[in-house]
Structure 1
Amino acid sequence: MEAYVNLSIENNVGYIEFFHPNRNAMPSDVLQQLAECIVSAGNDNDVKVIVLKSGGDRTFCAGASFNELIEIEDAETGKQFFSGFANVINAMRACPKLIIGRIQGKAVGGGVGIAAATDYCLASQYASIKLSELSIGIGPFVIEPAVSRKMGKIAMSQMTINAEQFFSAEFAKDKGLYAEVFETTEALDAAVSGLAEKLTSYNPEAVKAMKTVFWEGTGHWDTLLAERAEISGRLVLSDFTKETLKRFR
């Protein structure tokens, strides 16, 4: 199967689905498509609520594409790559519509950042999370503001330091990333669609105003996340990171 980003609209709910055959590990072009799709859905009058989901069964998003990371040869290219996740997070933050996350499986690195940037997140019991960046010689710099905002700095640092450990979906719920965790994908999908369609019946002006309130104090993120992307883009050039990525290729 080939990578894709699709938007489908049902009952005024915009379902954005992304997919990459390599465990939904995200290369630059798919990240760009995803950011553009979020902006488009936010401006579509037929869409009142957005559901963000991924294709496949057991992995929501495996983070950055290691195959693309290992090919980076200069700091500017590195910054541009990590700006892909920054642009997705900022598109979600600035979107005037509420975004519900549907996390059906594991989330790693940037996948945790995307989940944290949703306004409300529902997950399956298989949706464990991991911040593996420090173990490959970089760090979760770009996604840190979103993860810390949702889960707190202590949980963020705990996951960052234990970079090779998956933390359970229940841990993510306890720390505020997930609102609810479901035993089956079917139960998850029913809850997601039920909540999304309920939200479409609410006053859209009130919903939009509340979205602004939810994200108060983040107006500087365009600059902040660009600065963080520059740090990651520089670190990915280190010998340590290059050698580590080769083992995962």
Structure 2
Amino acid sequence: MPRLPHHGVRTPRRLPEGRQAGRTRRSRARRLRVVPRPRRRPREAGRGARGHDRLAHRQVRLLRDPPDLRKLPRSGQRPGLRVRGGEEDRGAEARDEAAGRDAADAGLGRDPERDLGGLAGARLRARRRPGLSVANVRSDDDARGVRTITIDRESRRNALDRATLDELEAALRDAASPGVRVVVLRGAGTQAFSAGADLKELLAHETLDDRRRHFDGVARVIRAMHELPAPVVARVQGFALAGGCGVAVAADFTIAAESAVFGLPEIGIGLLPMVVSAPILRATGSRKVVLDLVLSGRRVGAEEALRLGLASRVVPDARLDAEVDELAGQLASLSPAALRLGKEAIYAMAEMEYGAALRYLREMIVLTATTEDAREGISAFFEKREPRWTGR
């Protein structure tokens, strides 16, 4: 046995000689003994119950989140789930655009725009200017600068499959041109604005990446509406459910017919409306309202949607087109610069602390006052004439 240091070691007290002679074996057994602690032998990986548990957890983690998808971990993010970062988004877009150019040069298939999917196909389809019309989305312009984008899948209640979402995003991006002052978004027919995701396509997805691309399409459409300089007016008649409800509510103006029905019924089939919960929370401003709609899956009529903040206006069905047309014409007659800066400021302000919002809005009104449209509008007011907007 190795020599031990005296520090911290208890030394047995010495007993008188008489008592030492009478000690028994039992008393000697109770004597304090200090022995060195044996070193713990390293456990071999995978041995024992804990090793098997660790191995099982690792296998589940690899199945749920493969190593090639765990490149950019985010702080505070739930383990096993990863949101694609901005650098990856830009890299994917660049690769898709390059693939689109290569495919177009090679004359892939009879229709290169139909052969390509994802953002590559969307970018290629977006090259069609006013009068854009593809398989599931149709765009039409009028002389006032109002562009009407129609989700044209009436037989499927304008369901949002991946191809439709790609085309819808492309149509919205294409509307970011000086000649477009207002965008009206509607569904074909009178039965539905959009009934949400195409469940047949969703059931056919086999990989995590397929599902990610599917649900990312709704997020890209909502982001495209918010980033569009022109205001977006959603014309809602019939059903606006699930993803269709989120797209309708995310518009800058939501004009609903009295027959319109809003709802998030995904909970009934074991899913959740995660992406569209963000614009609905922003519109209603109430966590209680979002929890009610998401977890109960109930549907609400147009009047209740107006009270909750899901709709801007509710009009009789017979007057829906006239109301949307009047609003679009009114917006088209205003300063494009003021509309653009105002829309940007309101969305940015919603994410700020109150004091920071006041300082930001002060700078935005200073910026607005320096535009050519502001000077033209003030001059036209004093000269009692109609302003001639330039959008600058």
- TM-score class, shorter: 0.7 to 0.9
| DSSP-derived class of the 2:179 partner | coil
1:76 Cα deviation (Å)?
A: 0.9
Poorly superposed stretches of 4+, deviation over 6 Å: none
Partners of 2:180 and 2:137 in 1: CA distance: 17
Partners of 1:218 and 1:63 in 2: CA distance: 27
Identity of aligned residues (%): 31
Structure 1 window deviating more from structure 2 (61-70 vs 125-134): it is 125-134
Partners of 2:309 and 2:255 in 1: CA distance: 11
| DSSP-derived class of the 1:211 partner | helix
Partners of 2:303 and 2:185 in 1: CA distance: 20
User: Normalising by structure 1, what TM-score?
Assistant: 0.83
Matched letter for residue 306 of structure 2: K
Of the three residues 283, 287, 295, the one matched with 1:161 is: 295
Of the three residues 26, 32, 39, the one matched with 2:166 is: 32
1:73 Cα deviation (Å)?
A: 1.0
| DSSP-derived class of the 2:321 partner | helix
Task: Answer yes or no: is 1:53 the counterpart of 2:186.
Answer: yes
Indicate how the Cα distance of structure 1 residues 3 and 155 shifts in structure 2: closer, same or farther if over 3 A, else same: farther
Partners of 1:3 and 1:34 in 2: CA distance: 11
| DSSP-derived class of the 1:143 partner | helix
Of the three residues 202, 210, 227, the one matched with 1:69 is: 202
Of the three residues 344, 366, 374, the one matched with 1:212 is: 344
Cα RMSD after superposing both structures:
1.5
| DSSP-derived class of the 1:142 partner | helix
Partners of 1:201 and 1:217 in 2: CA distance: 25
| DSSP-derived class of the 2:259 partner | coil
Which of structures 1 and 2 has the larger relative contact order (alpha carbons within 8 angstroms, sep 6+)? 1
Matched letter for residue 131 of structure 1: L
CA contact (8 A) 1:3 1:18 kept: no
Of the three residues 305, 322, 330, the one matched with 1:190 is: 322
Partners of 1:52 and 1:33 in 2: CA distance: 13
Q: Deviations over 1:108-158 (max 9, x none)?
A: 100111011100110101111110112222211111111110123222111
| DSSP-derived class of the 1:26 partner | coil
Of the three residues 135, 139, 158, the one matched with 2:272 is: 139
Partners of 1:7 and 1:111 in 2: CA distance: 18
Partners of 1:113 and 1:198 in 2: CA distance: 25
Equivalences, count: 215
Unaligned runs of 5+ in 2: 1-133, 352-392
Unaligned runs of 5+ in 1: 220-249
| DSSP-derived class of the 1:52 partner | strand
Hey, which of these two has a bigger chunk of strand by percent? 1
1:218 Cα deviation (Å)?
A: 7.3
Partners of 1:41 and 1:101 in 2: CA distance: 15
Q: Deviations over 1:198-242 (max 9, x none)?
A: 1111111100001102211678xxxxxxxxxxxxxxxxxxxxxxx
Q: Deviations over 1:47-97 (max 9, x none)?
A: 101111110112110100001010011111100000110110010011111
CA contact (8 A) 2:141 2:148 kept: yes
1:192 Cα deviation (Å)?
A: 0.5
| DSSP-derived class of the 2:214 partner | helix
User: Normalising by structure 2, what TM-score?
Assistant: 0.53
CA contact (8 A) 2:218 2:243 kept: yes
Partners of 2:276 and 2:350 in 1: CA distance: 13
